């Protein structure tokens, strides 16, 4: 009976330590990715574009200098034409500065939106 109790206590302690270790590893990964420069830049650009679309009148053309974003995307081997995309069914702007992941943000305007990248300028056409 004593061996059973000791084994149970050791097993419970071992499970507790493993779960704590897993929890802290997940927290460290989240903290690293949240503090990552790409994540912040993706959020910023997506929200900025969504605000521009929501506040623009039809037939507006807006050009943004995205030099910093292009440098980050090139460092992560992300093609420049894939940095900004639009999901027209869900009215979402999607920004990807790295191969995996990315950030999307919803805009509320029903205007038709297209984007074109030319050198370091991102041109947004709102029709």
Same domain, 23 and 43: no
String of DSSP letters for 4-53: HHHHHHHHHHHHHHHHHHHHHHHHHHHHHHHS-HHHHHHHHHHHHHHHHH
Q: Give the pLDDT band of residue 39 (cuts 50, 70, 90).
A: confident
Same domain, 53 and 93: yes
- For residue 1, the enclosing domain spans 1-34
Rounded-to-integer distance, Cα 112 and Cα 2, Å: 74
State the pTM of this model. Answer: 0.71
Same domain, 67 and 118: yes
Same domain, 28 and 83: no
Q: Give the pLDDT band of residue 36 (cuts 50, 70, 90).
A: low
Same domain, 62 and 19: no
Same domain, 1 and 62: no
Same domain, 2 and 64: no
């Amino acid at each position: 009976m004593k061996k059973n109790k000791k084994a149970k206590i050791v097993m419970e302690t071992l499970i507790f330590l493993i779960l704590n270790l897993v929890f802290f590893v997940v927290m460290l990964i989240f903290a690293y990715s949240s503090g990552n420069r790409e994540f912040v830049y993706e959020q910023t650009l997506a929200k900025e574009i969504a605000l521009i679309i929501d506040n623009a009148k039809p037939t507006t053309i807006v050009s943004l200098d995205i030099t910093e974003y292009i440098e980050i995307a090139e460092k992560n081997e992300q093609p420049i034409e894939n940095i900004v995309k639009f999901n027209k069914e869900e009215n979402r702007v999607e920004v990807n500065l790295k191969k995996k992941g990315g950030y999307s943000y919803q805009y509320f305007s029903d205007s038709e939106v297209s984007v074109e990248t030319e050198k370091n300028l991102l041109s947004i056409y709102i029709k």
